[in-house]
């Protein structure tokens, strides 16, 4: 069980230091699943920043189920993220899949994401633990809470204390109407078990944009420290995860709804 106070994870972004933690305001992370081109990533950055997000999250290296699906633009997408960072002042979060890419990702990213599929890639966990950028550790789709906390422990044990835990839904038996089952019970459970900050990702959690706002509200009611929401300027044309992505207009509306119930930073 947890001993002592909640940890704060401070992330340096171009305009400000953003603090994640139990005793701080809700932090909103938003952006497309994949960085597709300069126009869309810069437009998304502008729109989510105007709505109150603190981070732009977009994938350069994508862990796709099929090897024939879009795999992300890789290094050129990192350059586009750097550009979006510069024009918007938002912090950048992007995923590492291969430890060999870590150094160049860390040049652009203010926080490094380890995705659900790599949650127990222990050598990758040791590598992100041996560098200084904060790490966003998503829960594996079939990981128990114990598995997840031990994965976080790999990062902490390697010397990096700045870890945020992100629930993104687990596999259960119904995949007809929801992509995953968003396990919001982790919020009070993690609060009891760990000092680390908590993020909820309702987009991957439910898989359909129409259900995302309700679950974002529910996550706040449960006491989450932060939210990750997928936003795309044209979800119908997205190269990945279009069905679960909000339009910028819908995201604006969600942000004003959230402001009524949560303390958005």
Contact residues for Mn ion (CB under 5 A)?
33, 241
**Residue 115 found at the interface with ligand PEP (CB under 6 A):** yes
Q: Token digits for 135?
A: 């790490």
**How many contiguous H segments (helices) and E segments (strands) does the chain have?**
9, 10
Cβ closer to Mn ion: 21 or 205?
A: 205
- Binders in 180-209 for ligand PEP, by CB under 6 A: 204
* Position among 48, 56, 102, 116 found at the interface with ligand PEP (CB under 6 A): 116
- Min dist CB 103 to Mn ion, Å, is 24
Beta bridge partners of 26: 264
Backbone angles phi, psi at 11, to 5 degrees: -115, 125
**Cβ 18 vs Cβ 265: under 8 Å:** yes
Beta bridge partners of 71: none
User: How crowded is residue 217: how many other Cβ atoms within 10 Å of its Cβ?
Assistant: 18
Cβ closer to Mn ion: 51 or 231?
A: 231
- Using CB atoms, what's the residue nearest to Mn ion? 33
Beta bridge partners of 114: 137
- Using CB atoms, what's the residue nearest to ligand PEP? 115
**Residue 42 found at the interface with ligand PEP (CB under 6 A):** no
* Position among 12, 14, 63, 75 found at the interface with ligand PEP (CB under 6 A): 63
CA distances from 9 to 20, 195, 211, 217, 228 (A): 5, 10, 29, 23, 16
Number of residues that bind ligand PEP (CB under 6 A): 9
Please report, as ranges, the residues that interact with ligand PEP according to CB under 6 A.
33, 59, 63, 115-117, 138, 168, 204
């Amino acid at each position: 069980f947890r001993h002592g106070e909640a940890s704060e994870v401070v992330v340096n972004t171009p305009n400000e230091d953003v603090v994640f933690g139990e005793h701080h305001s809700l932090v909103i992370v938003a952006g497309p699943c994949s960085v597709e081109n300069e126009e869309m990533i810069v437009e998304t950055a502008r729109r989510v920043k105007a709505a109150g997000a603190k981070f732009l999250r977009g994938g350069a290296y994508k862990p796709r189920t099929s090897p024939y699906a879009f795999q992300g633009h890789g290094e050129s997408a990192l350059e586009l993220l750097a550009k979006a960072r510069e024009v918007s002042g938002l912090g950048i979060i992007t995923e590492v899949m291969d430890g060999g890419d870590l150094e160049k990702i860390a040049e652009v990213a203010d926080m490094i994401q380890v995705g659900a599929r790599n949650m127990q890639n222990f050598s990758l966990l040791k590598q992100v633990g041996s560098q200084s950028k904060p790490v966003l550790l998503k829960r594996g789709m079939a990981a128990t809470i114990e598995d997840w906390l031990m994965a976080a422990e790999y990062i902490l044990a390697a010397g990096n204390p700045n870890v945020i835990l992100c629930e993104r839904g687990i596999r259960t038996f119904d995949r007809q109407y929801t992509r995953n089952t968003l396990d919001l019970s982790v919020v009070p459970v993690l609060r009891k078990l760990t000092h680390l900050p908590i993020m909820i990702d309702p987009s991957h959690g439910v898989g359909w944009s129409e259900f995302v706002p309700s679950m974002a509200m529910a996550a706040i009611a449960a006491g989450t420290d932060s939210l990750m929401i997928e936003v795309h300027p044209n979800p119908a044309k997205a190269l990945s995860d279009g069905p679960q992505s909000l339009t910028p207009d819908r995201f604006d509306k969600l942000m004003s709804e959230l402001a009524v119930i949560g303390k958005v930073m």
